[in-house]
């Protein structure tokens, strides 16, 4: 990244970007246990098939678990979902976000979002039956 990066500064305590830290805080406020192992997904999009396929090769080389989806219905882009599992902090969430940005930037794509799944125990506390 250059001297005049378009990315915001990182914030404490986990060195996330401010919007990601805010999303994490919302997730925790809804009852998530930050230390509980869970599934984490990072979504990337690409307008060109060749770019998406090159991104897949980068993810394979990095041994990242991922799934590529072709454009369909109302979604005109190629989508890659990169999946990780573990406790979100101190490192999993930050490294997953960084990998997503790095791969998207390298191959002309966009980092869209990250999503963490609630655990069965967290859902049970709300009276929701886990799938």
Domain boundaries, the chain: 36-118
pTM, two decimals, is 0.89
SS3 31: coil
**pLDDT value, residue 124:** 86
The tens digit of pLDDT for each residue in 21-78 reads 999 999 999 989 989 999 999 999 999 999 999 999 999 999 999 999 999 998 899 9
What's the first-to-final CA gap in the chain, in angstroms?
41
**pLDDT value, residue 130:** 58
User: Cβ(14)–Cβ(71) under 8 Å?
Assistant: no
Alpha helices (runs of H) in the chain, residue ranges in sequence order: 18-29, 49-61, 93-106, 120-125
H or E element, residue 78: strand 78-86
**Which numeric CATH code is attached to 36-118?**
3.30.70.970
């Amino acid at each position: 990244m250059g001297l005049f990066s378009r990315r915001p500064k990182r914030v404490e305590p986990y060195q996330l970007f401010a919007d990601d830290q805010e999303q994490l805080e919302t997730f925790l406020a809804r009852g998530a246990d930050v230390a509980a192992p869970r599934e984490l997904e990072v979504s990337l999009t690409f307008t060109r098939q060749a770019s998406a396929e090159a991104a897949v090769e980068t993810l394979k080389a990095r041994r990242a678990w991922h799934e590529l989806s072709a454009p369909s219905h109302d979604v005109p882009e190629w989508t890659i979902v990169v999946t990780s599992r573990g406790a979100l902090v101190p490192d999993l969430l930050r490294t997953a976000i960084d990998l997503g940005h790095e791969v998207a930037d390298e191959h002309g794509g966009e980092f869209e979002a990250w999503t963490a799944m609630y655990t069965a125990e967290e859902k049970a506390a709300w009276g929701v039956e886990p799938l």
